[in-house]
Amino acid sequence: MNLFKLTSLSCLVCAAFAAQAAEPLNAEVELGVIATSGNTESTSLKGKLAVTHEMEKWKNNYQLDALYKKDEVTIDDGAGNSVSEEQTTAQKLFVSAQGDYKLNQEHSALFIYGSYTDDRFSGYDYQSTIAAGYSDQLFSTEKSFLNYNVGPGYSFNKTDDGEKVESAVVRLAAEYQYKISEHAKFTQLLSTEAALESDKNTRSKSETAVSANLMGNLSMKAAYTIIHNSEVPADKENTDTTTSLTLVYIF
């Protein structure tokens, strides 16, 4: 449970920062819990904190995303008998920060980005990236917009076997949002950190989501997330997917 101790501590740090911020600050807290019992025992917890700090010359974004899942699995006890026991089957922590230095009154900016991923079942002990480049808004209408950023970076990864792998990358990211109605919206987030060497890992992520307002600042969100690593150990899958249903509170 060290993952969620770290998550709780990070939330407290962000909350303290928000309380002291002099400039406008917005935050979204997302939480989903699923538990089943009977023929199948399973517990899942997904949490996310996204903070946007808008200043005169800078726009800063911070994100904390955590997933924990425990399932009842059948194993061999070594004596030829099948027994059931609870095992952790997913444990992920993702932290990122991006600062955009505004170039004008529109949406163009120079950005600097950093992220850290700890995914217990990915084959990597950790994955981290730093990048810098240019961000802008491709278009904006009354109902939709598309933002993007692109720039060079560097990734620092360590496999479960202890091998450290570093690589120059190009980071591409985009956010598309469409207003379905007054109380509902569709969001598509895409990002890739493409390695410049063919034998190094390229990490890509997609989140497709629909959210609907329930009351006041409370919404419900259904999302489908895909994470793909081009280079993984032989006993691991390249692609992980997560389907989630969460409550989101905006303040």
Tens of pLDDT, residues 215-247 = 999 999 999 999 999 998 888 899 999 999 999
H-helix segments, the chain: 2-20
Burial of 112 (0-12, 13-18, 19+ CB in 10 A): middle
Which one-letter amino acid corresponds to residue 63? Q
- How far, in Å, CA of 162 to CA of 124, rounded? 9
Residue 93 has pLDDT above 90, yes or no: yes
Contact 175, 146 (CB under 8 A): yes
Alpha helices by DSSP H, 41-166? none
CA-to-CA distance for 100 and 14, rounded, in angstroms? 19
Contacts for 136-144 with beta carbons within 8 Å, 24 or more apart? 136/106, 136/107, 136/108, 136/109, 137/106, 137/107, 137/108, 140/107, 142/179, 143/178, 143/179, 144/176, 144/177, 144/178, 144/179
- Candidate CATH numbers 2.40.160.40, 3.20.20.140, 1.20.140.10, 1.10.3720.10; the one for domain 2-250: 2.40.160.40
Tell me how far apart the alpha carbons of residues 192 and 173 are, in angstroms, rounded to a whole number: 6
Q: Which two tokens stand for residue 161?
A: 């076997």
Domain boundaries, the chain: 2-250
In angstroms, how far apart are the furthest CA atoms of the chain?
71
Residues 146-163 have pLDDT tens digits of 999 999 999 999 999 889
- For position 38, what pLDDT does the model report? 61
Q: What is the Cα–Cα distance from 106 to 30, expressed in whole angstroms?
A: 29
Residue 38: strand, helix, or coil? coil
Task: Return d(Cα 28, Cα 187) in angstroms, integer.
Answer: 15
Average pLDDT over every residue of 102-116: 91
pLDDT at position 37 = 63
| CA pair distance 16, 219, nearest whole angstrom | 24
pTM of the model: 0.84
Radius of gyration of the chain (CA): 20
